[in-house]
Structures are given as structure tokens and as C-alpha cells.
């Protein structure tokens, strides 16, 4: 996008930085809007699902029969409310904490691919990036609890701190399994490697990954502070926990962050275990073939009709599966009582960690012993499942490189190209090493 601006407006002159700034701003606004609208949708979903679980209707008035606009109405109400800061609060920390939580939750979406190529930024180590940025959200909670100057908020913050060290360990161990099975940290590649029928999903790869998927979902629920792990905001014990003193828009930022993270961790679960943007049946590919294949193109730079179809179906698959994950979290929240802090820590450290460790070893053993799996990941080349654009890029690179220089591909690629295509790792450029 930045190149587009520079090409048509600013040129290569001293004003070229403006193109980057505008492109970044547009990207930020897009991400915030996509995620915020998504979060509002999930807030509506939670109210409806909770209503049905509790034998009532949920919102029915605002925005038609199903109360579609209830969240928007609530949002307007929250914006109109007075923004209170307690006298004893640490004003700076108190004010910045919601933005930390909000920014962390939303910026993790930068690296989350909704389908092949439908991602804000192609990050080669997306798994690492998402987990690291999601971990920052905890800082928002702790700062809020500490900065509020309320004892209840402080309790919430300390609980969050105790909880984070409990669930981060098993969560990391669970995420590592799909990473080593696919041999990449690129989320798009992991998703693409599960294409085909439902049996190709990593959750069905072997019995251990099935267990790992369940452990991951448990830890993910803990990581987004959802019941039964919502200790930091336990309303029956800590009034409202870390956000006791917040009102209006600042409070709603925490709320949005929570729902954003809920979709984020479900989306991560979808990519790592449940096939990414691939549906249970590869309908998308069939349709694409009917419409003239993915490779063909209509115009000069426009993707083909088949490619667009595959993309749309992929995004729909991803959002649908992510929404199912969110619904399960909602379902759990409105069914179970809350755990106690010692029980949360016992669950994460005494049960989840050993189970995750055992399954990690088991999954490694399964691959080492070459036991049968539906997906046969070890026979697949990671290279073939990269994002489409990087494959095309590699193809052009390979064509331009003379055969005698095969072992020195790196030199043949212009330094600038390597910088701009971080998603293409060095080993992938090695044509002979294309097969794992």
C-alpha cells in the first residue's frame, strides 16, 4: 500500500515516508474496525447464548427482533458516561492500562491469517508473535489493578499475575506441538498444510494431538480470563476485580479486549489444530476448479475468480470455526462455577503441564516411529504450503537464478528483496532443500 501511495502521490522524493505513515494508519484503522466489529458481534452473541442457556430471550428490542444493535447502544451509553478517576489512583497507570490491554489484544490480530493471504502482515514467526503480544494484555490487567488504588483491584491484579505464570507454561507446550509437526511457525503455512478433508486436521493427526488440543483450549480459556478462570474479575469475590474502578469508555476497552482475545485464541486453536481456513470437505478447491482454477488471473494484478472464491470460503470457514470456539467459551462460562486461585494453579501446573509434556513426547514419538497418521505431514513439503504469493515469488527467484549458482542462491537474491519478504526463510530459498 505504501508503494502505491509513493508511486502515485508522493514519489520517491523526500516525502516518501508519508506514504508509509498513511498506509500504516489505514492498516491500523482497518484492523481496529474489523476486530472491534467482531468483538461487538461476540458480545451480542454472548448475550443471546447466555439468554438461551438461562431460559430467557436476551436482547430483543434494539435493532430489530434479535437485538442486533444492543451492543452498539451500550457502546454509545458507555461513551456518554463520565470517565471517573479515583483520587487515590496512580493517574498515569490508571489511564494507560485500558489502552495497553486493548492494544495488545488487537495488535495480535496483525499476524493472524483469516485465510491464505488474508492477513495484515505476513509474519514468518506468527505463532511466536501472537503469543508474545497476547501475553502483553496481562500487563494491562496488572497495571489497571495496581493503578486503581483499590484493594479489590489489587487482588485482581495479583491473581492475574499468579494465573499468568500458571497457564503460560502449558499453553506454550501445547502450541509447540503443531509447530514442530509442520516444521514452521508461519500460521498460514500451518493452516495450509491441513488442507483436504477433515481427517487432515492436526487434531486428528494422532491421539496425542487430540489431547493437546483440549489442553490448549483449557489454557486458552485461562489466558483470556474467561470462566471458570475469571479470577481477576471474580464478581462475587472481588466486586469486579481489576476493573472495579473503571467506568465508561475505559471500561469498555477492557471489555472489547476480552472479546477480541477470545476470538484470537479460538482463531489460533482453529489454525493450529482445526484446519485453519480449510473446511471439513475441500469444497473451495472444487469450486475454484469449476471457476477456472486458482492460478489463472483476470487482469494484470487481480486474482482470478477461483482464487477469490477460495479466499472467501476460507475466511468464512475460519470465522465460523473461530465463532464456534467462542461459543464454547460462552457455554462454559454460563455453566460452571468459578475455580479458586489454588485450584487454578493446581489445574494448570499439576495437571495441564504434565499432560502437555507427556503428549508432547508422545507426539514426537509418533512422528519418530513413523506411525500412521491421516495427514502424512512428514511426506509433505513445507515449501509447497507457503502462502501463494511467496511461492510465486520463489518461482520467479528460481527462474532468475542460474543453475550453477544453486548453492549460493542467497547471493543471487537482491538484499532488498530479502528484507521485504521476511516470510521466505533462508532454507526455503534453497531449491535442493525444498523437501524436508
Binding site for another protein (CB under 8 A): 50, 53-56, 151-152, 155, 158-159, 227-228, 230-231, 234-239, 334-343
Distance CA 110, CA 104 (A): 10
Q: Tell me the three state secondary structure of residue 328.
A: helix
Q: Where are the beta strands (DSSP E) in 110-154?
A: none
* In the complex, minimum distance from the CB of residue 57 to another protein, in angstroms, rounded to a whole number: 12
Q: How far is the CB of 82 from another protein (least distance, A)?
A: 19
Residue 242 CB, shortest distance to another protein, in Å, is 15
Instruction: At 36, give phi and psi (nearest 5°).
Output: -65, -40
Give the residue from 272, 260, 43 showing the smallest Cα distance to 180. 272
Which CB sits closer to another protein, 151 or 408?
151
Compare residues 194 and 244 and give the one whose CB is closer to another protein: 244
What span, in angstroms and rounded, lies between the C-alpha atoms of 436 and 430?
A: 11
Cα(355)–Cα(348) distance, rounded to whole angstroms?
10
Query: Closest separation between CB of residue 326 and another protein, Å?
Result: 18
Q: Which three cell numbers stand for residue 398?
A: 528460481
Between 54 and 405, whose beta carbon lies closer to another protein?
Answer: 54
- Using the minimum distance from each CB to another protein, give the nearer residue, 159 or 243: 159
Contact 327, 49 (CB under 8 A): yes
Query: How far apart are CB 46 and another protein at their closest, in Å?
Result: 12
Q: How far is the CB of 325 from another protein (least distance, A)?
A: 20
Q: Which is nearer to another protein, 190 or 347 (CB)?
A: 347
Task: Tell me phi and psi for residue 297, to 5 degrees.
Answer: -135, 150
CB of 88 or CB of 302, closer to another protein: 88
Strands (E), 371-414: none
* Smaller CB separation from another protein, 51 or 172: 51
Residues 6+ apart with CB under 8 A from 343: none
CA–CA separation, 276 and 115 (whole Å) = 7
End-to-end CA distance of the chain: 34
To another protein, the closest distance from the beta carbon of 415 in angstroms equals 55
Amino acid at each position: 500500500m505504501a508503494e502505491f501511495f509513493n508511486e502515485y502521490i508522493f514519489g520517491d522524493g523526500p516525502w516518501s515516508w508519508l506514504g508509509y505513515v498513511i498506509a500504516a494508519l489505514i492498516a491500523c484503522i482497518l484492523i481496529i474496525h474489523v476486530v472491534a466489529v467482531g468483538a461487538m458481534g461476540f458480545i451480542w452473541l454472548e448475550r443471546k447464548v447466555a439468554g438461551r442457556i438461562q431460559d430467557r430471550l436476551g436482547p430483543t428490542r434494539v435493532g430489530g427482533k434479535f437485538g442486533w444493535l444492543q451492543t452498539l447502544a451500550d457502546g454509545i451509553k458507555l461513551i456518554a458516561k463520565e470517565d471517573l478517576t479515583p483520587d487515590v489512583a496512580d493517574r498515569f497507570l490508571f489511564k494507560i492500562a485500558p489502552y495497553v490491554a486493548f492494544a495488545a489484544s488487537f495488535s495480535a490480530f496483525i499476524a493472524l491469517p483469516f485465510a491464505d493471504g488474508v492477513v495484515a502482515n505476513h509474519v514468518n514467526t506468527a505463532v511466536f508473535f501472537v503469543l508474545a503480544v497476547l501475553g502483553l494484555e496481562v500487563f494491562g490487567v496488572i497495571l489497571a489493578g495496581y493503578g486503581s488504588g483499590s484493594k479489590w483491584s489489587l487482588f485482581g491484579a495479583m491473581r492475574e499475575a499468579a494465573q499468568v505464570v500458571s497457564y503460560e507454561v502449558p499453553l506454550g507446550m501445547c502450541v509447540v506441538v503443531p509447530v514442530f509437526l509442520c516444521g514452521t511457525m508461519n500460521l498460514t503455512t500451518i493452516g495450509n498444510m491441513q488442507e483436504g478433508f477433515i481427517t487432515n486436521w492436526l487434531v486428528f493427526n494422532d491421539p496425542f494431538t487430540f489431547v493437546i488440543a483440549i489442553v490448549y483450549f483449557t489454557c486458552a480459556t485461562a489466558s483470556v480470563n474467561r470462566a471458570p478462570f475469571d479470577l481477576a474479575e471474580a464478581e462475587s469475590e472481588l466486586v469486579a476485580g481489576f476493573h472495579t474502578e473503571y467506568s465508561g469508555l475505559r471500561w469498555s476497552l477492557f471489555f472489547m479486549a476480552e472479546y477480541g482475545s477470545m476470538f484470537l485464541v479460538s482463531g489460533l486453536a482453529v489454525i493450529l489444530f482445526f484446519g485453519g481456513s480449510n473446511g471439513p470437505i475441500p469444497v473451495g478447491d472444487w469450486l475454484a476448479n469449476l471457476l477456472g482454477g486458482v492460478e489463472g488471473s483476470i487482469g494484470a494484478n487481480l486474482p482470478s475468480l477461483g482464487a477469490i472464491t477460495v479466499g472467501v470460503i476460507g475466511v468464512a470457514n475460519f470465522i465460523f470455526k473461530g465463532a464456534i470456539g467462542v461459543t464454547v467459551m460462552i457455554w462454559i462460562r454460563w455453566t460452571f462455577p468459578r475455580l479458586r486461585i489454588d485450584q487454578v494453579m493446581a489445574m494448570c501446573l499439576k495437571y495441564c503441564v504434565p499432560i502437555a509434556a507427556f503428549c508432547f513426547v508422545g507426539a514426537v514419538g509418533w512422528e519418530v516411529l513413523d506411525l500412521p497418521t491421516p495427514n502424512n505431514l512428514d511426506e509433505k513439503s513445507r515449501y509447497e504450503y507457503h502462502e501463494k504469493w511467496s511461492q510465486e515469488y520463489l518461482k520467479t527467484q528460481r527462474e532468475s537464478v542460474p543453475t550453477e549458482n544453486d548453492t549460493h542462491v542467497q547471493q543471487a537474491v537482491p538484499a532488498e528483496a530479502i528484507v521485504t519478504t521476511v516470510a521466505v526463510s533462508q532454507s526455503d530459498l534453497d531449491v535442493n532443500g525444498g523437501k524436508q
